[in-house]
Every structure is written in structure tokens, then in C-alpha cells.
Chains A and B, each alone.
Chain A
């Protein structure tokens, strides 16, 4: 069997880990928002997304969360006209990453909120465990 009090911490930990990976990918997208290719007609940086999945974890006794994989965003690249760019094709257009800063900022905010919520659950688990063990101190 598993102890509900300890599964709270385990689940919160898994949630924090998953959101951390998500934030890392978002940061990577933002850092590469202007990374075009190096040779004429080359593809630029392609936006990445994370896919979460709920996996039954027998050790915890409940459905934990895990980053199943990262996917490449298939949205078409934007075209910018810049004939002097190394990656400019015959028409002078450069393919730029399909990263939208506003979308990434929103994603980052959401990931932060989720991370904080998981952290709060971790704190609550610790408090609940402490107060249970403190029952033994109430004897005196």
C-alpha cells in the first residue's frame, strides 16, 4: 500500500519536474526566436513543444505526470525579406523561426503558475506530515 501523505509530495515533485522541463523548452524557444539558418534556403530553428502524459506510478499509488516527449511545431516558418542575410534564398527571403514571443511569454507564465501550485502542494504535504508526527509530542 502507499501512504497518501507521502504521495502528495511525490506527485508535487513530479509536477515541478515536468513544469521545469516545460520552462526549459520555452526558454530555448525564446532564445532562438531569431535564429535563422546559415546557408541559402536553409531551415531556421523550429519551435519545440512538450507533451505531458499521466502515467500510473505503482510506487506512488496514483497517476503521476511525466514529460513524454518534445515535439517539433509543424507551423510553417515566417518569411522575411532580407537579401543580405546568409540564408536568403533566390528571392531574397529568409525563413525565420515559427516562434511567437507573445505565445512563449504566455506559456512561461502558465508554466510558472503550475510550478508554484505544485510547490505549494509540496509545502502542504510537509505541514500535514509534521502535524501528524507532532501528535507524539502532545503526550507531555
Chain B
């Protein structure tokens, strides 16, 4: 099972549900990356990371396979997503080499939260609609 995929999701008879499900997974992965940035806001040499923007194409592959890591170290799923994107444009680089801006990260975190809430709301709505469509009497 891989972050970002919903293989064989049987809760998504409609493609909109599938899309919402993928976006919810994407938003969760993004929030996790942001959490890593904020936790390491004072770690020397730490570079802020982000993941690729959400691809709303219904026929897109759910997860982009990253290139082989230079050290051939086995990457976790989250690291694979985070590594696939170059460093974000930074607001400020401290002389310690740390590029995390807490303000920027909190803004992105708010976006990720809203994306997740909306995706979950869409899934909920379509789920309810589907259940009421098959209810007898």
C-alpha cells in the first residue's frame, strides 16, 4: 500500500469519489511534509520540502515513482513523495543553512487542511447520496 493511491477503492463507484479520495490522501501527505518542516524549523542545514501539486486528471497515475535514490537507500513512501519535488522557493535562508519559514509553512498547512476537509466532505456527500439511492422504501 502506497501513500497517495487508493488501489481498488470500492467506496468510489463514481469517479468524483475516487478523485476526492486521492486528493484527501495527497493533502494528508502534504500536511505530513509540512509537519516535518515545522518540526525541523531550527535544525541546521535542513531544507524545507514540499510535494508535487495535486494532479486532478481522473486518468492520472496515483503515485509518481521517484528516480532511484543516489545512496540506494530504501526510502519511505513519504520521503519518495517529498523527494520528487525540488526545494520550494525560500523566503529566507538563515546562516545556519535552514530554509524553513514558519509563516510560510503555516499558510501551506492551512491550505492542506482546507483541501483535506473539502475532499472528505465530497466523499461524505457522495457516499450518502449513493446509500440513499439504493435504500428500499
- Listed in ascending order, the chain A residues whose CB lies under 8 Å from chain B are 1-2, 4-5, 7-8, 11-12, 14-15, 18-19, 22, 51-54, 56, 58, 61-65, 110, 113-114, 117-118, 120-121, 124-125, 127-128, 131-132, 134-135, 138-139
Contact = CB atoms under 8 A, between A and B. Distances in A.
Given A1-B2, A114-B102, A128-B28, A62 B42 contact: no
Q: Would you call the interface of chain A mostly helix, strand, loop, or mixed?
A: helix
A18 B88 CA distance: 25
B28 A11 contact: no
Given A4-B3, A65-B39, A139-B128, A131 B117 contact: yes
Given A113-B102, A124-B113, A135-B123, A2 B35 contact: no
B128 A138 contact: yes
A64 B29 CA distance: 15
A134 B46 CA distance: 36
B42 A8 contact: no
Given A117-B38, A121-B34, A138-B127, A2 B43 contact: no
Contacts of B78: 2, 4, 7, 61-62
Task: Kindly name the residue among A5, A8, A127, A135 whose own CB sees the greatest number of chain B CB atoms within 10 A.
Answer: A8
A117 B3 contact: no
Contacts of B46: 54, 63
A134 B124 CA distance: 9
Interface size class of B (residues with CB under 8 A): 35 or more
A120 B109 contact: yes
Given A124-B31, A128-B116, A4 B25 contact: yes
Contacts of A11: 32, 35-36, 38-39
B40 A135 contact: no
B41 A62 contact: no
Contacts of A2: 76-78
A116 to B, nearest CB: 9
A18 B79 contact: no
Contact of A15 (B3, B32, B39, B127): B39
Given A7-B35, A121-B34, A124-B109, A52 B127 contact: no
B124 A125 contact: no
Interface string B78-110: 110010000000000000000000100110010
